[in-house]
Homo-oligomer: A and B are copies of this chain.
Amino acid sequence: MSEAIMSEAIGEIGRLRARLKEVRARGASIGFVPTMGALHAGHEALLEIARRENHFVVASIFVNPLQFDRKEDLDHYPRTLEDDLHVCDRCGVHLVFTPTQAELYPEPQMTFVDSPALTSTLCGQFRPGHFRGVATVVLKLLNIVQPDRAYFGEKDAQQLALIRRMVRDLNVPSEIVPVPTIREADGLALSSRNKHLTPAQRAIAPVLSRALRQAVELIGEGERSAAVIRERALALFAPWPEARIEYFELTDPQTLAPLDRIDFAGPVLVAAAMWLGSTRLIDNMSWPAQ
C-alpha cells in the first residue's frame, strides 16, 4: 500500500512562487487546475488528467468576486474547503493554492482582460462583466503559477473558448488543455450548482442534455438549418414549463458567432442555458463529437 500524497496548501503568492521555483529547477513539468472549490467528479477528471500529464500538479481554490455579476450569487456560492482538500489529496495534487481576496486583490483592480466579441454572446449577454472577471483572474493565476499546462472543462464552453483565445492572443506561455464534460448516468452534466436542485427539478434537468444530443444527431443526419434544429430542441422542453430556456444556440466553437446554416466542414458548438427555479444550468455539445 503506497503512502497517500499529502497536498500542501499555500495561501501566499510569494511562498507559492518560491516553492514552484524549486519544482521547476529540478526540471519537473507543472500542471494547473484553477477552481472555485466545491469540487465534484468533473474537477476530479481535470485533476487526474493533470496528474497523468505532468510531474507536479497545482490546484487553486478561489471564489473570485470579480466574476460574479450578482452579489447574492457570490454569497451563496458553496464553500467546502475541507472536503475540497480531501479531493485534492485523493487526486494526488501536490500543491493547493488557497489565496484570500486580499492576497489576490491587494489594491482595487484597475486592469482588466476582455474579449468583447467572445463575451457578448451566449452566457455573456445575460451576465455582464462575468467573463471579463473570469479572463482577468485566470490570467492572474496563470502568471502566478506559470504552468506548462492548464486544464479547463468543456462544460464551460464559452469560458474555454475565451481562455484559449486569450492565451493565443496574449502569447501566454502555457498550454490550455480542454477536458470532456463528466455526466450523470441520465446525461446531466456535473456542476456544483446541481446540489441546489429540488428532487422534482433534478428529475427534469436531464432534458437539457437530451435536447443538445438531439441537436447534434440532427446535424449528423444532415439537417443544416439552425432554426429547424432549435425548434425541434425547444419542443423537447414543452412538457416542462418550469424549465425556462435562456438560450439555445448553434455557434462557431472558436469565435462563438451564431450560425444560421451549418454549411461548412468545421465543427459546430451547440450551447444552451436553462433555469429551473433559481438555479441556472448550462451545457453544450459539439459536432462532430471531439
- Which residues from chain A sit less than 8 Å from chain B, CB to CB? 13, 17, 107, 109-118, 135-136, 139-140, 143-144, 146, 165-166, 168-173, 255
Contacts and interface: CB of A to CB of B under 8 A. Distances in A.
A171 B111 contact: no
Contacts of A143: 170-173
B110 A112 contact: no
Nearest to A145: B171
Given A17-B173, A140-B171, A170-B136, A165 B111 contact: yes
Contacts of A113: 111-113, 170
Given A113-B113, A115-B110, A115-B112, A139 B13 contact: no
Contacts of A172: 143
Closest 3 interchain pairs by CB? A111-B169, A143-B171, A111-B115
A164 B114 CA distance: 19
B171 A13 contact: yes
Contacts of A255: 110
Given A110-B165, A113-B112, A165-B110, A170 B140 contact: yes
B114 A169 contact: no
Contacts of A109: 169
How many copies of this chain does one complex carry? 2
Contacts of A110: 115, 117-118, 165, 169, 255
A289 to B, nearest CB: 26
Which of A112, A140, A169, A255 has the most chain B CB atoms inside 10 A of its CB? A169
A111 B166 contact: yes
Contacts of A173: 17, 143-144, 146
A168 B107 contact: yes
Contacts of A136: 170
A111 B135 contact: yes
Contacts of A165: 110-111
Nearest to A114: B112
A17 B144 CA distance: 19
Contacts of A114: 111-112, 114
28 contacts: A13-B171, A17-B173, A110-B115, A110-B118, A110-B165, A110-B255, A111-B113, A111-B114, A111-B115, A111-B135, A111-B165, A111-B166, A111-B169, A111-B170, A112-B113, A112-B114, A112-B115, A113-B113, A113-B170, A136-B170, A140-B169, A140-B170, A140-B171, A143-B170, A143-B171, A143-B172, A144-B171, A144-B173
Contacts of A168: 107
A144 B170 CA distance: 9
A89 B135 CA distance: 39
A41 to B, nearest CB: 30
